[in-house]
Structure 1
Amino acid sequence: MGPLGLARLVTELCSERKAEEVVLLDIRRSTVIADYFVICSGTSERHLGALSEEIREELGRQGERGRRVEGSPRSGWILLDYGSVIVHLFSRAERDYYRLERLWAAATPVLRLE
């Protein structure tokens, strides 16, 4: 699966699992660390944990192995690193605090789901 297909799959999984404000950003022109960011918000610690688990399980079934997982539901920010795609799962408060969309304003929005 290519990077855009992987990013779109993650976006769909987040949406299906009721994540809020799902955003897919193309960051290729801004950095070499990845091709895409998927950013979304969970409604609780339990929801963040479930989103993280579902993404990792489904991508594993698709043969995609994550490089690294950082953070925890309790911290309010979980980062799933799939190389070309980095997934940011935030609590509402942490997302408001870090404002990744603002930091990466030069990125091209590919998809926004409210």
Structure 2
Amino acid sequence: MNNQELLKVVVKACDDKRAEDIVVLNMQGLSLIADYFLVCNGNSNKQIQAIAREVKEKVEELGGEVKRMEGYDEGKWVLIDLGDVVAHIFNRDERSYYNLERLWGDAPSISVANVLS
């Protein structure tokens, strides 16, 4: 699975579990960590865990590998490292506090609709 296909699987999994305010940042040329960051939030710890679980399951179903998942038990900020794609699933307060979109403000955002099409 290439990084574009992986990104599409992750975005769709988040969208399917009704993640809010999904933002995809193109990190190519800006970060050695990953090609794409996905940032979204859920309304409760249970929803955040459900989104993270859906991402993990869908990626693994298609033969992808979850390299690392952090924060799942707390359900406030779950980071899922998929190699070329890193997903950040926040609760609203944590997302506002860490404000990754501003931190990586020089990264161009990609339309979620374009990723899903």
Q: Same fold (TM over 0.5)?
A: yes
Q: Which structure 2 residues correspond to residues 37-52 of structure 1 after superposition, within 5 A? A: 37-52=37-52
The residue aligned with 2:55 is 55
Unaligned regions of 5+ residues in structure 1, if any? none
SS in 2 for 1:12: helix
Letter of the aligned partner of 1:84 in structure 2?
A: D
The residue aligned with 2:103 is 103
Q: Deviations over 1:42-77 (max 9, x none)?
A: 110000111111111111100011111111352510
**Number of paired residues?**
113
Is the CA contact 2:11–2:112 (under 8 Å) kept in the aligned structure 1?
Answer: no
SS in 1 for 2:71: strand
Q: Which structure 2 residues correspond to residues 12-91 of structure 1 after superposition, within 5 A? A: 12-72=12-72, 74=74, 76-91=76-91
- Once residues 75 and 58 of structure 2 are traced to their aligned partners in structure 1, the CA distance between those partners, rounded to angstroms, is 23
Q: Name segments (4+ residues, structure 1) moved above 4 Å.
A: none
Q: Which structure 2 residues correspond to residues 5-16 of structure 1 after superposition, within 5 A? A: 5-16=5-16
- Once residues 73 and 49 of structure 2 are traced to their aligned partners in structure 1, the CA distance between those partners, rounded to angstroms, is 5
1:112: how far off?
4.5
Is the CA contact 1:65–1:82 (under 8 Å) kept in the aligned structure 2?
Answer: yes
Unaligned regions of 5+ residues in structure 2, if any? none
* TM-score (ref. length: structure 2): 0.91
SS in 2 for 1:72: coil
- Paired-residue identity, %: 36
1:108: how far off?
1.2
